[in-house]
């Protein structure tokens, strides 16, 4: 059984691991305050930290360049969208190694869909380490821009973060010490590994809030969220008090120097009563837990660490409570895990005690787990090549070029396949469209034929029915009518007057003939109409045959122009299936082009390194020969022992004729033009990496 501390319950190993916290918990910690002289000694190193790690003009330019490029890219993909910068890049509380936080605002967006679409877009642009986090509270896409080396987070509709960034930025504007203290604390927290929310410590943002809280307590800054007039804003159906009042002033001026502020920061949080208080910059000071209603939920960090269970329980909430300035339900320590809490508290006490024990700022910030920060080392494009012989690098170059060639072929093949599928889909649509008029007319005629047939049948039936009732053909009726009429109207021979009976018969016969004649005429008209319609019907049938021939002619003409369509079924469904194939190929193409992009860059880098080495050899030879030594034609970078700056690298890649680059570069002779060119390689993006849709 392991020996455990009677007070804290910590094992020996853990008591050593958290030695400062442990001695505080058992009442043995004695914090010695540094003398004025000792404290003064921190002034210069702290000033160096600020100037070495603050964001400078060049860093800002890189961010601006990337922002403009992304802004253009997203605007072309999402109508009515707005891309904004937030986080430390906007608030001014940034370390130059800090990430670049961007927020895309799109009204009524389907966030997951948008994030995935952005991921695809970035892949096509050759961005690296793309991660899509759709399950986070706010969906995020993370990636690295290989050109600027910046790590970027794009979140969707993260409106509240824009406001808290504004608040931090207003604090930064209050006093230069806000930025200075934030840089020193963030630098320390990063090197001591206590500023990484995903691994269970506080976020960089939470450390900024702790900085503001300390400066509020020290009366360096006024409480910007105070004041009688309140600004209430509804975001996603919830109301927030977003009051930010830059007219508030502080009563007494505080003249503490940065070294005093840094030391007092550590002392403040090392000795703070975390058990009973909640940090609240909204109130300008810590507030009692009872007032906030956030209690120390069990199990505590110590309970979790001391748990003998194979799977220790999850720590209860609200132990290092820090209220978000606007989202009052959000405790910024929610991400902190048990081990993280103990480490944070241990580190705060460690820093505070080291100030009074003769340690240097460098020692206080000594990096824990240096591998973790490797990606933050100054950009040295050639770090992995330094210990390799030229032959090995040449070999690497050959291999990269071979891979490039085979990938180029694959891209060409995919492109050709995509092209032929696009052609096929288009040709099909063309045939469907070109023949659609003919098809429509053909259909109209068929409908006409059917209707006319019905009418012809009706007329014929009516005609035949009338004819069956009439005993004489019309011409005979007319002859008979004429005869009877003459008989009835001729001059009478007085001696041969017909009998009345006979006269009546004649009249009746005349009337019957008249009625018959009317009907016969009707039948004759119907017959006429019948004939006309039959003729019309025959004409339409002829037309139908003409249209059928025309359609066949048009189709075969189009097929002659597009042999791809021979023996293919031509209909809208088939055309759509070709569209789908095009989309799939497009996706594969985007990925392959991204890979090709990387290979080209790698080949360029290897060539630049080999050239740099051969230049430095010839340079050495030149110096050996005294003053007369020839100067190398291309601009040489600094001594190769130190890391190269972006400018050096740009100079190498451009001045040394980057064979790997497919773009031809103009010769630049004047120094000014050369500088312009270097500038272009830096921030300017132009159309790089944008694989525009050709079709
Ligand atoms: P970061 O943790 O990246 O902070 O959160 P930062 O200030 O930008 O620090 P560095 O310089 O990159 O290390 C970015 C932004 O996300 C919002 C805040 O607006 C913060 O400025 N955020 C972060 C929250 O609103 N809540 C959180 O819990 C964390
Ligand atoms: Mg950030």
Which atom of ligand 1 is nearest the CA belonging to 164? Answer: 19
| Co-location of 329 and 416 in the same domain | no
For residue 204, how far is its CA from the centre of ligand 1 (angstroms)? 6
Q: Give the ligand with the smallest distance to the CA of 329.
A: 1
- What was the pLDDT predicted at 544? 83
SS3 668: coil
Query: Is the Cβ atom of 212 under 6 angstroms away from ligand 1?
Result: no
For residue 290, how far is its CA from the centre of ligand 2 (angstroms)? 32
Cα–Cα distance, 484 to 516 (Å, whole number): 14
Q: At which of 552, 572, 589 does a domain end? A: 589
225 and 324 Cβ atoms separated by less than 8 Å: no
| Co-location of 406 and 359 in the same domain | no
| Co-location of 237 and 321 in the same domain | yes
| Co-location of 482 and 516 in the same domain | yes
Could you report the per-residue pLDDT of 306-316, keeping only the tens digit for each?
998 989 999 99
- Could you tell me the strand order of the sheet in which 287-288 lies? 287-288, 277-280, 322-323
Cα–Cα distance, 627 to 629 (Å, whole number): 5
Q: How far is CA 246 from CA 170, 284, 478, 662, in A?
A: 7, 15, 114, 53
For residue 381, how far is its CA from the centre of ligand 1 (angstroms)? 29
Rg (C-alpha) for the chain, rounded Å, is 46
| Co-location of 495 and 570 in the same domain | yes
Could you tell me the CATH number of the domain that includes residue 202?
1.10.1410.10
- What was the pLDDT predicted at 224? 97
Q: How confident is the model at residue 336 (pLDDT cuts 50, 70, 90)?
A: very high
Count of residues in the chain: 695
Query: Is the Cβ atom of 94 under 6 angstroms away from ligand 1?
Result: yes
The answer to whether residue 23 is domain-embedded is yes
- What was the pLDDT predicted at 690? 45
Q: Give the ligand with the smallest distance to the CA of 330.
A: 1
Query: Is the Cβ atom of 196 under 6 angstroms away from ligand 1?
Result: no
The answer to whether residue 237 is domain-embedded is yes
The answer to whether residue 584 is domain-embedded is yes
Region 512-541 average pLDDT: 90
The answer to whether residue 21 is domain-embedded is yes
Strand (E) or helix (H) holding 130: strand 128-133
Cα–Cα distance, 311 to 121 (Å, whole number): 41
Cα–Cα distance, 410 to 592 (Å, whole number): 8
- What was the pLDDT predicted at 569? 79
Q: Which of 144, 196, 204 to mutate to test the pocket of ligand 1 (most atoms within 8 A of CB)?
A: 204
Cα–Cα distance, 141 to 131 (Å, whole number): 6
Could you report the per-residue pLDDT of 470-499, keeping only the tens digit for each?
888 888 888 988 988 888 888 777 787 778
Among protein residues, the one whose CA lies closest to atom 19 of ligand 1:
161
For residue 103, how far is its CA from the centre of ligand 2 (angstroms)? 11
Which atom of ligand 1 is nearest the CA belonging to 101? Answer: 14
Query: Is the Cβ atom of 185 under 6 angstroms away from ligand 1?
Result: no
Among protein residues, the one whose CA lies closest to atom 20 of ligand 1:
87
For residue 99, how far is its CA from the centre of ligand 1 (angstroms)? 9
| Co-location of 505 and 578 in the same domain | yes
The answer to whether residue 63 is domain-embedded is no
- Cβ-based neighbour number of residue 462 at 10 Å: 16
- What was the pLDDT predicted at 30? 94
- What was the pLDDT predicted at 664? 39
Among protein residues, the one whose CA lies closest to atom 4 of ligand 1:
205
Q: How many CA atoms lie within 13 A of 234 on its CB side?
A: 2
Cα–Cα distance, 293 to 107 (Å, whole number): 35
- What was the pLDDT predicted at 380? 59
- What was the pLDDT predicted at 248? 86
- Cβ-based neighbour number of residue 245 at 10 Å: 16
Query: In angstroms, how far is the first alpha carbon of the chain from the final one?
Result: 72
Cα–Cα distance, 352 to 192 (Å, whole number): 14
Q: Which of 60, 101, 163 to mutate to test the pocket of ligand 1 (most atoms within 8 A of CB)?
A: 101
52 and 95 Cβ atoms separated by less than 8 Å: no
- What was the pLDDT predicted at 1? 66
- What was the pLDDT predicted at 10? 97
Query: Is the Cβ atom of 92 under 6 angstroms away from ligand 1?
Result: no
Q: At which of 589, 611, 630 does a domain end? A: 589
Percent of the chain with pLDDT over 90: 58
| Co-location of 23 and 37 in the same domain | no
| Co-location of 37 and 181 in the same domain | yes
Q: At which of 527, 561, 589 does a domain end? A: 589
> How many domains is the chain partitioned into structurally?
3
- What was the pLDDT predicted at 77? 92
| Co-location of 562 and 420 in the same domain | yes
- What was the pLDDT predicted at 121? 94
Q: Which of 85, 88, 335 to mutate to test the pocket of ligand 1 (most atoms within 8 A of CB)?
A: 88
- What was the pLDDT predicted at 691? 43
Q: Give the ligand with the smallest distance to the CA of 98.
A: 1
For residue 44, how far is its CA from the centre of ligand 1 (angstroms)? 28
- What was the pLDDT predicted at 244? 97
The answer to whether residue 460 is domain-embedded is yes
| Co-location of 367 and 488 in the same domain | no
The answer to whether residue 441 is domain-embedded is yes
| Co-location of 300 and 423 in the same domain | no
Cα–Cα distance, 656 to 64 (Å, whole number): 27
Give the pTM.
0.64
Whether pLDDT at 454 is above 60: yes
Domain range enclosing 282: 32-49+167-246+253-307+314-373
The answer to whether residue 378 is domain-embedded is no
Could you report the per-residue pLDDT of 373-397, keeping only the tens digit for each?
877 655 556 777 888 889 999 999 9
Query: Is the Cβ atom of 95 under 6 angstroms away from ligand 1?
Result: yes
| Co-location of 22 and 42 in the same domain | no
Whether pLDDT at 458 is above 60: yes
Q: Are strands 232-235 and 238-241 parallel, antiparallel or unpaired?
A: antiparallel
Whether pLDDT at 31 is above 50: yes
Query: Is the Cβ atom of 161 under 6 angstroms away from ligand 1?
Result: yes
Could you report the per-residue pLDDT of 609-663, keeping only the tens digit for each?
999 888 876 655 544 443 433 444 444 444 333 445 444 454 444 444 344 444 4
Cα–Cα distance, 389 to 409 (Å, whole number): 31
């Amino acid at each position: 059984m392991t020996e455990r501390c009677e007070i804290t319950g910590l094992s020996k190993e853990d008591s050593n691991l958290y030695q400062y916290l442990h001695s505080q918990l058992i009442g043995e910690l004695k914090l010695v305050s540094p003398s004025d002289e000792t404290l003064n000694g921190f002034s210069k190193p702290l000033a160096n930290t600020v100037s070495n790690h603050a964001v400078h003009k060049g860093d800002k330019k890189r961010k601006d360049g990337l922002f403009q490029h992304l802004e253009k890219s997203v605007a072309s993909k999402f109508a009515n969208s707005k891309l904004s910068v937030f986080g430390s890049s906007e608030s001014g509380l940034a370390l130059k190694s800090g990430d670049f936080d961007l927020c895309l605002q799109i009204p009524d967006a389907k966030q997951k869909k948008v994030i995935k679409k952005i991921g695809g877009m970035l892949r096509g642009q050759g961005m690296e380490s793309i991660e899509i986090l759709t399950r986070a509270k706010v969906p995020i896409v993370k990636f690295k821009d290989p050109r600027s080396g910046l790590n970027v987070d794009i979140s969707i509709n993260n409106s509240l973060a824009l406001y808290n960034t504004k608040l931090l930025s207003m604090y930064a504007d209050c006093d230069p010490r806000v930025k200075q203290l934030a840089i020193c604390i963030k630098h320390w927290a990063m090197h001591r590994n206590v500023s990484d929310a995903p691994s269970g410590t506080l976020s960089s943002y939470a450390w900024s809030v702790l900085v503001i809280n300390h400066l509020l307590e020290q009366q360096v800054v006024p409480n910007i969220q105070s004041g009688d007039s309140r600004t209430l804003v509804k975001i996603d159906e919830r109301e927030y008090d977003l009051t930010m009042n830059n007219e508030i002033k502080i009563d007494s001026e505080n003249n503490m120097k940065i070294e005093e502020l840094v030391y007092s920061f550590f002392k403040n949080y090392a000795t703070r009563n975390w058990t009973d208080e909640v940090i609240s910059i909204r109130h300008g000071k810590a507030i009692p837990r009872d007032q906030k209603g956030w209690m120390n939920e069990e199990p505590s960090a110590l309970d979790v660490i001391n748990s003998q269970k194979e799977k220790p329980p999850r720590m209860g909430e609200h132990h290092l409570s820090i209220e978000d300035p606007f989202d009052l339900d959000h405790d910024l320590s929610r991400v902190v895990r048990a081990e993280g809490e103990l480490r944070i508290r241990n580190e705060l006490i460690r820093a505070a005690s080291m100030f009074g024990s003769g340690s240097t700022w460098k020692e206080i910030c000594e990096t824990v787990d240096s591998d973790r920060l490797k990606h933050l080392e100054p950009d040295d494009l050639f770090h992995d090549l330094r210990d390799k012989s030229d032959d090995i690098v040449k070999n690497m170059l050959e291999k990269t070029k071979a891979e490039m060639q085979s990938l180029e072929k694959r891209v060409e093949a995919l492109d050709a396949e995509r092209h032929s599928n696009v052609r096929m889909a288009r040709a099909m649509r063309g045939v469907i469209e070109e023949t659609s008029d003919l098809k429509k007319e053909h259909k109209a005629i068929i409908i006409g034929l059917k209707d006319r047939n019905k009418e012809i049948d009706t007329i014929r039936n009516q005609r035949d029915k009338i004819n069956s009732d009439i005993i004489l053909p019309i011409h005979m009726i007319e002859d008979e009518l004429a005869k009877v009429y003459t008989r009835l109207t001729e001059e009478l021979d007085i001696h041969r007057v017909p009998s009345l009976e006979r006269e009546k018969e004649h009249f009746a016969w005349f009337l019957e003939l008249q009625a018959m004649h009317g009907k016969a005429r009707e039948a004759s008209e119907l017959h006429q109409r019948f004939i006309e319609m039959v003729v019309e019907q025959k004409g339409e049938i002829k037309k139908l045959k003409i249209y059928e021939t025309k359609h066949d002619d048009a189709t075969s003409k189009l097929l002659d122009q597009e042999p791809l369509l021979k023996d293919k079924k031509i209909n809208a469904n088939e055309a759509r299936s070709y569209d789908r194939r095009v989309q799939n190929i497009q996706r594969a193409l985007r990925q392959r082009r991204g890979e090709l992009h990387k290979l080209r860059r790698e080949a360029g880098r290897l060539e630049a390194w080999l050239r740099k080495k051969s230049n430095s050899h010839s340079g050495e030879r030149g110096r050996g020969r005294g003053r007369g030594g020839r100067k190398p034609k291309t601009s040489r970078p600094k001594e190769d022992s130190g890391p190269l700056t972006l400018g050096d690298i740009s100079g190498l890649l451009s001045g040394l004729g980057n064979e790997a680059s497919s773009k031809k570069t103009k010769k630049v002779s004047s120094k000014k033009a050369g500088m312009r060119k270097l500038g272009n390689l830096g921030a300017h993006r132009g159309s790089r990496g944008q694989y525009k849709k050709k079709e």
